[in-house]
Amino acid sequence: MEDLLQQVADGSLRGWRKWYAISHAARCYRCGNFLSRLKVTLNTLKLGSEPANADALARLKAQVRDLDQPK
Ligand SMILES: [Zn+2]
């Protein structure tokens, strides 16, 4: 599910899969949290002075994924 949500957040997911992921996130506390955190993180990256490159985005996604792991 997190993979789908990441694709929603970065805009690469389209069609019914996107709506499936969004409607799931609206009902699921954990996924809703994950998606909103991911969007904030991506927005922060976009607002930065440096243009986001694929490498930075991949690192960021890995960090977000780490945050989501139960410790
Ligand atoms: Zn969920």
Residue ranges, the chain, pLDDT below 70? 47-52, 68-71
Q: Which residues surround ligand 1, an ion (CB under 5 A)?
A: 28, 31
Q: What is the pLDDT of residue 29?
A: 96
CA distances from 12 to 6, 17, 33, 39, 71 (A): 9, 11, 20, 13, 30
CA of 32 to the centre of ligand 1 (A): 7
Find the domain containing 30 and state its range.
Answer: 2-68
User: Count of domains in the chain?
Assistant: 1
Q: What is the pLDDT of residue 23?
A: 95
Place of tokens 């009902």: 27
Q: What is the pLDDT of residue 21?
A: 95
* Residue 9: how many other CB atoms lie within 10 Å: 23
Q: What is the pLDDT of residue 31?
A: 95
pTM exceeds 0.75 for this model: no
